[in-house]
A = this chain, B = another copy of it.
């Protein structure tokens, strides 16, 4: 297949591009490299030394003999160029990672909220409008998030996108299947909830074939392809905005920083290893909906854990100390989470578990690159409201105390 990977320079986009190229697909990365600009804005960098996208593609060609094409394009702002690009390349599938993807970044200031909504909604909608206008019947695979479901405990397992409900009618009770009622917990998550409505409309009105992957929190760094050459390595974010919780615990352990748990740590979240992510995308591509079918929704996750349990797991493995901090987010202190992921399991997914993979990450990645960490970027300081901002701990290490 000819596959466009929008946002193919990112944390999941890059290993996905390698994985699909390795399977023999013709891969085109379309990216505006905004994530690299945000590194510059925040003054942070990937823990792993990351080459330019052009250099990455050159090394991949050298290692595998396969070409990955790169196209610099801003999906959200360059609608006409996007349309022309689609008309010129006629992809069989489009994988859409091209959205600002950090909840804390989306809540940092009003400017970041406005950017996230403007960028993410227009990126998705421009893509949909351009597919309709060019008449290209590509299978669109979108990276959503488990966060669209929200994390209030309803006491029932979270289904894959659609919920069976009953309502009262004058003729008695009646069953309906609806999109799971969304309860996003940040501006970022909210944009993925908006995406769902966009997809529902374009699948119904225009017969677009769309798969939406509600992904859990990704952990890990390497995939089979990123391991093949030092310069193919994936990015690894550890800062308070872009670092995901488990990867942050790993680097905190590696540099003798406390494992920072926010609130009670009773938040239960869904997780998936990066290697399983790219495998899921391969599986989703093989199982496209038909024209006129509703949006196909998968839960792309393999395990659920409470945050404090993960901290304890990493602490036991590494001897690190756990520190409980005020929560910069507005969210429930504690929640249960049971998630259905039968569809990917039935398609053959064989998950990598935390128990088996975690130690390798600490040794291969966190410790290896620990010298590149800027400790001052580790705290999570983007607060969900101004009131919450007042109680955020900007210095969990207590350097001030040490300096006395």
Interface residues of A (CB under 8 A from B): 79, 83, 110, 113-114, 117-118, 121-122, 125-126, 129-130, 132-133, 135, 154-156, 163-171, 173-174, 176, 178-179, 181-185, 187, 190, 193-194, 197-198, 200-201, 205-206, 330, 384-386
In Å, the complex CA distance between A193 and B125 comes to 14
Q: Is the CB of A205 within 8 A of B155?
A: no
Pick the residue among B125, B165, B167 that contacts A117 (CB under 8 A): B125
- Please name the residue on chain B nearest to A107 by beta carbon: B205
Pick the residue among B154, B183, B193, B384 that contacts A174 (CB under 8 A): B154
Pick the residue among B164, B166, B194, B201 that contacts A197 (CB under 8 A): B194
Q: Which residues of B contact A205 (CB under 8 A)?
A: 185, 330, 384-385
In Å, the complex CA distance between A125 and B191 comes to 11
Nearest 3 Cβ contacts at the A-B interface: A165-B165, A156-B169, A178-B181
Using known A-B contacts A164-B168, A206-B385, A385-B205, determine if residue A133 contacts B155 with beta carbons closer than 8 Å. no
Pick the residue among B132, B167, B178, B190 that contacts A164 (CB under 8 A): B167
A81 to chain B, nearest CB (A): 13
Q: Which residues of B contact A173 (CB under 8 A)?
A: 166
Q: Is the CB of B169 within 8 A of A154?
A: yes
- Please name the residue on chain B nearest to A205 by beta carbon: B330
Q: Which residues of B contact A163 (CB under 8 A)?
A: 167
Using known A-B contacts A110-B132, A110-B133, determine if residue A155 contacts B178 with beta carbons closer than 8 Å. no
16 A-B interface contacts by CB (under 8 A): A79-B110, A110-B130, A110-B132, A110-B133, A118-B118, A155-B171, A156-B174, A164-B168, A165-B166, A165-B176, A178-B181, A179-B181, A184-B197, A184-B201, A197-B197, A205-B385
A375 to chain B, nearest CB (A): 30
In Å, the complex CA distance between A155 and B132 comes to 33
In Å, the complex CA distance between A30 and B252 comes to 50
Pick the residue among B133, B156, B190 that contacts A201 (CB under 8 A): B190
In Å, the complex CA distance between A254 and B191 comes to 47
Q: Is the CB of A118 within 8 A of B114?
A: no
In Å, the complex CA distance between A125 and B129 comes to 21
**A118-B125, A197-B197 given. 11 additional CB < 8 A pairs?**
A110-B133, A113-B125, A113-B129, A154-B167, A156-B170, A165-B176, A165-B178, A179-B181, A183-B200, A184-B197, A190-B201
Q: Is the CB of A156 within 8 A of B129?
A: no
A113 to chain B, nearest CB (A): 5
Pick the residue among B110, B154, B176, B197 that contacts A154 (CB under 8 A): B176
In Å, the complex CA distance between A170 and B362 comes to 38
Q: Which residues of B contact A184 (CB under 8 A)?
A: 197, 201
Q: Which residues of B contact A194 (CB under 8 A)?
A: 121, 194, 197-198
